[in-house]
Amino acid sequence: MTSHLPSLAESSEIETRLLATLKDKRILIVMGSYVGKRPMYERARELGAKLVVMDGPGHWTQAATAESLFEQYIEVDLYPSNTLADRAYQAIRKANLHFDGVATFEEFAGPLTSLLARGLGLPGHPFLSLAYCRDKTLTREVCIEAGIPSPRFYRIGSVEDIEVAAEQVGFPAVLKPVSGASSVATYRVDTLAALHQRYKQTMEAVREHLKSSDVHSADENELIWKNGFDMILEAFLDGEEFDVDCLLSQGEVVYAAVTRDLPQPYLREVGSQMPPAFPADKQDELIGFTAQVLQVLGFYHGAFHVEMKYTEQGPRLIGVNVCIGGPMHQLNRLVWGVDLVEQYLLSCLGLPIQPRKAIEPQTYILTSDLPSPRSGVIAHTNFLQPLDTHPHVIQKKVNVEVGQFVTGPESGVPDSLGEVMVFGNSVEAAEQIMAELLAMINLPLEST
């Protein structure tokens, strides 16, 4: 982070007092999630919260407990998964600690977190609402039942379902896991033959990759398939994709901000823009749609990341994530001065929240993924070094290792080699800075 970034607005006296209530509050973190969530835990610790994390043996948060990021680590066997809630509850009771709240930053831990919160007599989301969100077909059914328009879809449990799915949904369509996240294994298919091929390839890859049933909460890609290999085929929607980060308090939207996902040739997020270059009235429509979806799903408080497309007919839902996405904490804080982690933790204590959103954006942020332009082997990993001293780079990250084989678009969906986040004093300025920076990067790909 550079000194050119605007400093965050001072908290009001009321906000400061509210945040002070987090000090020394002990919060149970259900499943530590992937290591990219670490900054959120660090923020919670800065606020004085005592975090006790519960996860399986060898999770990265276990080592982080030794570094005092967490007060205590409660180890629990994750399998068999159908009795995990009971084992987790017993392990928590055995720890003999008083908890003030229960939270999770792991999308897949929703139903478990709900049960544990109820078991401990603490605030939490309704179990049924979280159950609906773990399966995209269930989310869509609930929305349709409530009159919220939704694309045609069909659940594919085996190869026998493919013909009916194609007949029901038509083409073009999108094939993805019912329990998906981060666009993993998400493909556009334009013909029945392509659908057959993609489904077969995905199932082969999953079965090859999942060598063990002991899936860790740090392995997001594997968690998607943990409870089964069902996929959803849904009608492809024309239009741009947006995300709405939303905070609910006592059933009301108290904060919402829109992020534009940059055009996605491979249906994988390749970058995002906050605030978006998109008309304000349409952003309001996206936010209103988000509120409607969360209401019909039965949510009342907490932090949500809702993905949708803006089509010619208006917003259409892609998915509801009942947690804060990795980079979204930083984006919302820098652009609108709202710290989602602070607000989420306060809501976990059962406190009403009312964050102050900046009237105007404090900065303009653009993130870009670095998709591999072709298949090859990574020669070195210092390809982002030219960006080291650039004053507008907020963050950069290499996603590959030396010697790693990566896939380019000619072989399917390209692998991500890295990510860059920049800021500017306007949307256009941020775009120009990003274009200049990307031109400076020489991706180190050797042919095989």
Using CB under 8 A as the criterion, which residues of the chain lie in contact with other proteins when the complex forms?
81-86, 89-90, 110-112, 115, 118-121, 127-128, 130-132, 134-135, 137-142, 144-145, 147-155, 157, 164-165, 168, 178-179, 227-228, 230, 311, 313, 316
Which residues contact residue 159 at a Cβ distance below 8 angstroms, ignoring those fewer than 6 apart? 196, 199, 200
Q: Tell how strand 187-189 and strand 173-177 pair up.
A: antiparallel
Tell how far CA 189 is from the center of its chain. 24
Q: How far is the CB of 223 from other proteins (least distance, A)?
A: 12
Q: How far is the CB of 382 from other proteins (least distance, A)?
A: 42
Q: How far is the CB of 425 from other proteins (least distance, A)?
A: 39
Q: How far is the CB of 120 from other proteins (least distance, A)?
A: 8
Tell how far CA 409 is from the center of its chain. 24
CA distance 423 to 432: 10
Which residues contact residue 56 at a Cβ distance below 8 angstroms, ignoring those fewer than 6 apart? 75, 76, 77, 78, 214, 216, 217
CA distance 308 to 320: 9
Q: How far is the CB of 37 from other proteins (least distance, A)?
A: 21
Q: Which amino acid is at 446?
A: E
Note the residue count of the chain.
448
Least Cα distance to 141 among 323, 297, 294 occurs for 297
Nearer to other proteins, 228 or 251 (CB): 228
Q: Is 177 left (phi over 0), alpha (psi -120 to 50) or beta?
A: beta
Nearer to other proteins, 117 or 433 (CB): 117
Nearer to other proteins, 134 or 216 (CB): 134
Least Cα distance to 37 among 55, 25, 19 occurs for 55
Nearer to other proteins, 93 or 380 (CB): 93
Q: How far is the CB of 158 from other proteins (least distance, A)?
A: 8
Nearer to other proteins, 110 or 361 (CB): 110
CA distance 254 to 324: 16
Order of strands, sheet of 252-261, starting from the edge strand that comes earlier in the sequence: 314-321, 302-311, 240-249, 252-261, 271-274, 364-371, 416-424, 393-398
Nearer to other proteins, 157 or 251 (CB): 157
Q: How far is the CB of 403 from other proteins (least distance, A)?
A: 37
CA distance 386 to 139: 44
Burial 346-362 (b: 16+ CB within 10 A, else e): bbbbebebebeeeeebb
CA distance 117 to 138: 23
CA distance 73 to 55: 8
Structure tokens at 262: 């940059």
Nearer to other proteins, 21 or 227 (CB): 227
Nearer to other proteins, 143 or 349 (CB): 143
Q: How far is the CB of 123 from other proteins (least distance, A)?
A: 13
Q: How far is the CB of 447 from other proteins (least distance, A)?
A: 41
Q: How far is the CB of 125 from other proteins (least distance, A)?
A: 12
Nearer to other proteins, 177 or 371 (CB): 177
CA distance 196 to 225: 19
Nearer to other proteins, 46 or 86 (CB): 86
Q: How far is the CB of 78 from other proteins (least distance, A)?
A: 12
Nearer to other proteins, 153 or 242 (CB): 153
